[in-house]
């Protein structure tokens, strides 16, 4: 499909005599993942869909999270399709189920399936999602139903790793008031969810990303316990 126009960056580069970095053929890894026009299009789709969305409780754009997830996917050996799913993993959940057909049309059923596997809700734009804990319990159950080699697992783990890292950094910086970003939920709710995710990925997707997720979740628990112990009794 050519509905999403991309700027002719190569032509502008050529006009100014600029050239892409040369491929270091002698040192480049044999399994190097070359990202092509489909990834470029996914970047544009993600930035278009999430342009007005902030990262909760911060002035930062939500796209920072999506880029972080795609970065994690590629860091831990993911394919171009998995990286694209990393960019789009929250589009259906946050922007509406109408994006399912659009994602399939532009990126194919494999990317669509990964995006849906990483979504804990798929309702039309503007409709209310279900109860938070019920959605998270269903998501955990859905992960357990996936085959051990399902490509969505790396995307999901990369997502949770980026989220957990942000929680740890912001909790350390802001202290207990950090949790006020999530009205209606207690810190224990988040610790339960991320603890369950870390345990699942440790068993199902053993390796560096799951190890980092577990270490990060352990860090969140340690900081939370320290802050709670130091908090004045009211």
pTM: 0.93
Which pLDDT score is estimated for 25?
Answer: 75
pLDDT at position 8 = 85
**Domain map of the chain by residue range?**
32-230
Tell me the CATH number of domain 32-230, given options 1.10.3210.10, 3.40.50.300, 2.40.10.10, 3.30.470.20: 1.10.3210.10
pLDDT at 234: 62
Q: Given a cut of 70, is residue 22 above it in pLDDT? A: yes
The three-point CA angle 3-94-140 to 5° equals: 125
User: pLDDT tens, 84-115?
Assistant: 999 999 999 999 999 999 999 999 999 999 99
Q: Name residue 54's beta-bridge partners.
A: 61
pLDDT per position as a tens digit, 30-69: 899 999 999 999 999 999 999 999 999 899 999 999 999 9
Query: What mean pLDDT is predicted for residues 176-203?
Result: 97
């Amino acid at each position: 499909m050519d509905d999403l126009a991309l700027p002719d960056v190569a032509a502008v580069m050529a006009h100014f005599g600029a050239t892409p970095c040369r491929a270091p053929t002698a040192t480049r890894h044999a399994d190097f993942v070359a990202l092509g026009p489909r990834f470029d299009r996914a970047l544009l789709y993600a930035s278009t869909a999430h342009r007005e969305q902030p990262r909760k409780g911060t002035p930062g754009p939500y796209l920072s999270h999506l880029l972080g997830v795609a970065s994690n996917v590629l860091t831990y050996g993911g394919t171009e399709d998995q990286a694209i799913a990393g960019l789009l993993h929250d589009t259906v959940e946050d922007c509406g189920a109408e994006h399912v057909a659009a994602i399939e049309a532009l990126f194919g059923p494999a990317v669509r399936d990964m995006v849906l596997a990483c979504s804990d809700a798929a309702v039309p734009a503007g409709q209310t999602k279900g109860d938070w804990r019920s959605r998270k319990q269903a998501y955990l159950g859905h992960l357990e139903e996936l085959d051990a080699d399902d490509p969505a697992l790396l995307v999901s783990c990369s997502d949770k790793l980026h989220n957990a890292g942000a929680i740890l950094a912001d909790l350390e910086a802001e202290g207990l008031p950090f949790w006020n970003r999530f009205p209606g939920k207690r810190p224990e709710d988040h610790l339960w969810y991320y603890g369950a995710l870390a345990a699942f990925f440790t068993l199902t997707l053993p390796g560096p990303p799951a190890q980092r997720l577990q270490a990060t979740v352990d860090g969140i628990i340690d900081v939370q316990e320290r802050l709670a112990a130091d908090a004045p009794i009211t």
